[in-house]
């Protein structure tokens, strides 16, 4: 089955049925990766990252190479013709001449959406400023489904930076499409979920400031870091950094089958002592992202 549409720009671009098909293929790849090692032989992926990235960039590159394809891109954007004054749109159009699929991250919201209008090859939004991060959401829902065996009837806590956190914005929109989910949005007042997003969500959504008040009720806790790079006023960042820190002691109040997720990187919001807790899934979540991106590439190229 090939997905409708050629691009992935928003976390809700694919139907619920399509998301299940991507998850199903990712499960097959994870179970027997050798069966897919030459699926993209002769294909080229362009990775255009205008913002720093570790997990997303490397997992996309690993995904394409594990599928037998090749990857092109710039070691840093200053080495491209953008330094000569070329527009981003022109750069991406040129790159599309040399590649079969393009992955792009940009620090300005909606830039990938605008660029995609000019691109004929499949185009993937790997994060656009504080707006969305749809492929991280694929990693998130794959992890949840793999270990919870469901995507509905869950109480999910989103904790930390809910204002600028594009991973939160994407995931909450996606999980809102499944039945009987409840969202607990935990943040300081200055980092609350945006009003327009809150109005868009149909599932029950509660806002609170204290993590301890709800930790024992959560099936999933999605921790996020306070993003220094999103603040214009660094004094405000200094004031609220370290506002939430999940510790081994606090985990004593969490449910026995709770899942702790984090899109990473972390700063200090999850203490390293939590890493050995069997309820800590964030490193498994990172590996799941590679398999989901392998599945996504195959779907968009029609090779599944």
Which residues carry out catalysis? 55-56, 84, 105, 133
Q: How many angstroms separate the CA atoms of 217 and 215, rounded?
A: 5
Q: Which of 9, 8, 4, 11 is nearest to 167 (CA)?
A: 11
Class of residue 301 by CB neighbours under 10 A (exposed 0-12, middle 13-18, buried 19+): buried
CB atoms within 10 A of CB 274: 22
Through-space distance between the first and last CA atoms of the chain, rounded to whole angstroms: 7
Contact 303, 36 (CB under 8 A): no
Write b or e for each residue in 128-145: b if 16 or more Cβ atoms lie within 10 A of its Cβ, otherwise e: bbbbbbbbbbbbbbbbbb
What tokens does 125 get? 């939004």
């Amino acid at each position: 089955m090939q997905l409708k549409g050629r691009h992935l720009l928003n976390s809700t671009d694919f139907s619920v049925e399509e998301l299940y098909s991507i998850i199903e293929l990712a499960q097959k790849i994870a179970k027997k990766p050798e069966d897919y090692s030459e699926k993209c032989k002769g294909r080229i992926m362009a990775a255009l990252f205008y913002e720093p990235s570790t997990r997303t960039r490397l997992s996309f590159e690993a995904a394409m190479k594990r599928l037998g394809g090749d990857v092109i891109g710039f070691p840093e954007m200053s080495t491209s013709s953008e330094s000569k004054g070329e527009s981003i749109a022109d750069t991406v159009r040129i790159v599309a001449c040399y590649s079969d699929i393009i992955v792009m991250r940009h620090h300005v919201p909606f830039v990938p959406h605008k660029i995609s209008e000019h691109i004929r090859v499949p185009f993937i939004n790997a994060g656009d400023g504080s707006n969305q991060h749809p492929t991280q959401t694929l990693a998130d829902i794959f992890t949840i489904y793999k270990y919870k065996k469901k995507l509905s009837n869950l109480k999910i806590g989103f904790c930390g930076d809910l204002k600028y956190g594009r991973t939160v914005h994407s995931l909450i929109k996606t999980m809102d499409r499944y039945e009987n989910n409840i969202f607990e949005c935990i943040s300081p007042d200055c980092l609350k979920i945006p009003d327009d997003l809150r109005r868009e969500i149909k599932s029950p959504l509660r806002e609170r400031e204290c993590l301890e008040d709800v930790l024992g009720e959560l099936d999933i806790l999605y921790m996020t870091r306070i993003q220094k790079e999103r603040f214009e006023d660094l004094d405000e960042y200094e004031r609220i950094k370290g506002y939430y820190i999940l510790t081994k002691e606090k985990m004593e109040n969490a449910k026995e089958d709770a899942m702790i997720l984090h899109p990473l990187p972390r700063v200090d919001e999850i203490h390293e002592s939590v890493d050995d807790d069997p309820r800590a899934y964030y490193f498994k979540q990172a590996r799941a992202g590679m398999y989901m991106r392998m599945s996504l590439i195959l779907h968009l190229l029609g090779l599944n």
